[in-house]
Structure 1
Amino acid sequence: MFAKTWQAAQKIVFFATLPEAWTRRTRLERELTREVVEQARSEASGDLTVEGPTLAHSALRLGVGDVVQLLICPVVVGGGAPALPGGLRIDLALEQERRFDNGMVQLAYVVR
C-alpha cells in the first residue's frame, strides 16, 4: 500500500549535486527555501510532508512546518542524526500519541 501511495504522490527531491530526478512525478530542487515550500503548498491538493532529519531541520529553521511527527523505536543502534535541530526553540503541543504492539510510539505535535 505504501508503494502505491508513494508512486502516485508528487515529490520534490532536494539535492545540490544530483543532475536530474529519475523517478516519475518528481521535481528536483537545489535548496529548501520558503518560496519552494509556498509554491508546493499552492500546487498541493493535500498535506505536504518533509522526510528525513536534515531536511526537517531546515524546514523547522525556516518556520514552514506546522506539525512534527516522531516515531520512537525501542532499539538503540548508536549514533546518527538528531531528530530535532539544536540551537532552536520551538514550542510544541502534543496532538496525538499512538502505541504499537512492537513497542514503537508515534507522537504528533502541533507547532505553536
Structure 2
Amino acid sequence: MRSVTYSMGVSLDGYIVGPNGDFNWTDPDEEIFRFWIDQIRGVGVHLLGRRLYETMLYWETADQDPTLDESDREWTALWNPLPKVVFSKTLSEVQGNARLASGSLAAEIERLRAEPGEGDIAIGGATLAAEAAEAGLIDEYQVMVHPVLVGGGIPYFPHGGRRVDLELVETRTFGSKVVHLRHRVVRQGGAYPVAGAPLT
C-alpha cells in the first residue's frame, strides 16, 4: 500500500514559516536541492493546499527562462508532470498536471491508496498535513531541520493533537549543518483508518 508522507523544511523551534510569513531560511543550497530532487523521484502524487500550490506555480513556466541552471531544469522536468491534487475552497481551476480535489482529504487518500500506482502520496502544506495527522493518515514525517529559531509562525506539527508513536528510520546531516530526520508512524497491528471512521 502506498505511503502518505509529510515533508517540509522546518526551523529548530518547529515552524515552516516565520511570524512575518518569511521562509527564506529554507532556501536550499546545491547539496540539499539535489536531495529534494532525489526525494521527488519517489513521489507518485502530491497533495497540496492552496498556498503551497500557488507558491509552486513558479515551476510551471520556469523552464522558459534561458538562465535556469541544470538542477532547476531537472527539478522542473520531474515536478511539472507529477500528478497533483489541490485542496481549496476558493480556487475554481488549477494549472498544469493538477486537479481540484472532489472529496474530503481522507476520501482522496483512501481512493489513491486503492488505485494501482507507484510512489508515495506526498502531502505539502501545514494545514492540509494537520488534517491528515488528525485523521491518522500520515505514515511518515520527514523534516529538514534548519539551524535557526524564528520564534513563531506556522508550525510543522499541529498543536493539541493526539499522541503518535514514531520510529526513526533515517538521519542525514548536510554540509550546511541542516539535519534531515525521517520518522515512520508506528501502527498497532498495521491497520490504516477508514475514511469517516472514528479514531481509536
Same fold (TM over 0.5): yes
Cα deviation for residue 32 of structure 1 reads: 4.2
Q: By percentage of residues, which structure has more helix?
A: 2
What one-letter code is carried by the residue in structure 2 that aligns with 1:10? P
**More contact order relative to length (CA 8 Å, sep ≥ 6):** 2
Deviation string 1:51-110 (CA, Å, 9 cap, x unpaired) is 122111111111111111111011233421111111221111111001110011110000
Cα deviation for residue 31 of structure 1 reads: 6.2
* Match of residue 28 from structure 1: 100
- Partner of 1:65, secondary structure, is coil
Query: C-alpha separation between the residues in 2 aligned to 1:31 and 1:82?
Result: 25
Retained in 2: the 8 A contact 1:8–1:25?
yes
Q: Which has the larger radius of gyration?
A: 2
* Match of residue 100 from structure 1: 174
Cα deviation for residue 8 of structure 1 reads: 1.8
Cα deviation for residue 43 of structure 1 reads: 5.1
Number of corresponding residues: 111
Query: C-alpha separation between the residues in 2 aligned to 1:30 and 1:80?
Result: 30
Percentage of identical aligned residues:
35
* Match of residue 70 from structure 1: 143
After TM superposition, the score normalised by the length of structure 2 is 0.52
- Partner of 1:49, secondary structure, is strand
Q: Does 1:19 pair with 2:92? A: yes
Retained in 2: the 8 A contact 1:71–1:106?
yes
- Partner of 2:124, secondary structure, is coil
What one-letter code is carried by the residue in structure 2 that aligns with 1:71? M
After TM superposition, the score normalised by the length of structure 1 is 0.88
Mark the runs of 5 or more structure 2 residues left unpaired by the alignment: 1-73, 187-200
Query: C-alpha separation between the residues in 1 aligned to 2:117 and 2:94?
Result: 19
Q: CA RMSD in A?
A: 1.6
Query: C-alpha separation between the residues in 2 aligned to 1:14 and 1:46?
Result: 20
Retained in 2: the 8 A contact 1:92–1:110?
yes
Residues 14 and 74 of structure 1: CA distance in aligned 2, closer, same or farther (over 3 Å): same
Query: C-alpha separation between the residues in 1 aligned to 2:103 and 2:121?
Result: 17
- Partner of 2:176, secondary structure, is coil
